Amino acid sequence: MAPSAASVRPVDVSGPPTPTPATEPPASTWVRESNLHWYHRWVIRVLQAGPIPRHVAFIMDGNRRYARKANIAKAEGHSAGFEKLSETLQWCLEVGITEVTVYAFSIENFKRTQEEVDTLMNLARDKFQRLLAERDKLHERGICIRIIGNWDLLEPDIRRSIAEAVLLTRHNRKAILNVAFAYTSRDEITHSIRTVAQAVGDGQLEPDDVSEELLTRCLYTKYSAEPDLLVRTSGEVRLSDFLLWQSATTVMYFTETLWPEFTIWHLLGAVFSYQRVRWRMVDVRKALDHYTDEGVASACGKRNERVGRFLEYVEREEEHHLVRLVRGMGIK
């Protein structure tokens, strides 16, 4: 079944300029303090009279073009992109968005020049170490960090850092940040199919146990709801192999703005556009849920028990793998 989605071009949301702090913070941070003024909060309260997307995904595109535009090095452009990410995460919390998924690094990005790949990996090392250093702030605000992607493609020290971050924050529930790193949707779907196929081959599952729901629960994103809204910057109007399985009823919002130049007004404009077209997706979502629910209802008790045991096994194995990575025992 082909995905259906509402695609929205940006609404011209005028308003006072986004505040710029007089001085930059002394060091990069994942957890920022608010920089909003009263008029931003007033607009947010107006928007909150309508439905607010619970889960928003971002394709953060335009860092390199921003670097060319600003006549700075690519590395500085990527650093500016991270600063914008941390700022946007704070805005999302203030708007009432409780889950955010960001496309940080595609598997396709490994095809860039070795110099740029090394720069991005070094930036990732620094930012994930910073994440661990801010563990107290993450716990204080109840932020759960999940890193989704093919970790086997990453260097051992990066794998260890992200495994530690995931384990440290896995019980936090107030807000969720999913970082898609070394990720493509095709790789994610392949991983899910391989996981299920291996279970069938090992006798944990029967061939008739395989279903859309089971494949969904074996994806990297199995703990997350489907995104309500997807925002892509820089003027590109495509998904670039990001959350293809999960975006059947996602409202999509495209803006010409480069990611480092993204402002609170762009976010509020995206939320407003979501509110305008959300109703179109409601019937589609109900139809899909009805189809899935019928399949679940028809499943026999033994099949449900078998699938339940398998999913518990997968969850245990993943947690044990994280622990081994942190201890350095699961690193080849």
The residue with tokens 């556009």 is 273
Q: Report which DSSP code applies to 96.
A: T
pLDDT of 238 reads 95
pLDDT of 280 reads 80
Each residue of 237-256: pLDDT tens digit? Answer: 999 999 999 999 999 999 99
pLDDT of 297 reads 53
CATH of 52-328, one of 3.60.15.10, 3.40.50.300, 3.40.50.880, 3.40.1180.10: 3.40.1180.10
Interatomic CA distance for residues 123 and 237, integer angstroms: 27
The structural domains of the chain, with segments of one domain joined by +, span 52-328
Each residue of 11-58: pLDDT tens digit? Answer: 444 455 544 443 444 457 888 888 999 999 999 999 999 999 999 999
pLDDT of 330 reads 58
H/E stretch holding 57? strand 55-59
Q: Is the dihedral of CA 142, 144, 243, 103 positive or negative?
A: positive
Show Cβ contacts of residue 177 under 8 Å, excluding neighbours closer than 6 positions: 89, 99, 100, 101, 102, 143, 144, 145, 146
Residue 257: CB atoms within 10 A of its CB come to 20
pLDDT of 284 reads 72
What single-letter amino acid sits at 152?
A: D
Interatomic CA distance for residues 328 and 48, integer angstroms: 46
**pTM, 2 dp:** 0.87
SS3 247: coil
Interatomic CA distance for residues 209 and 196, integer angstroms: 9
Each residue of 306-319: pLDDT tens digit? Answer: 999 999 999 999 99
Among 238, 235, 228, residue whose Cα is nearest residue 274: 228
Residue numbers of the chain with a pLDDT score lower than 70:
1-27, 290-299, 329-332
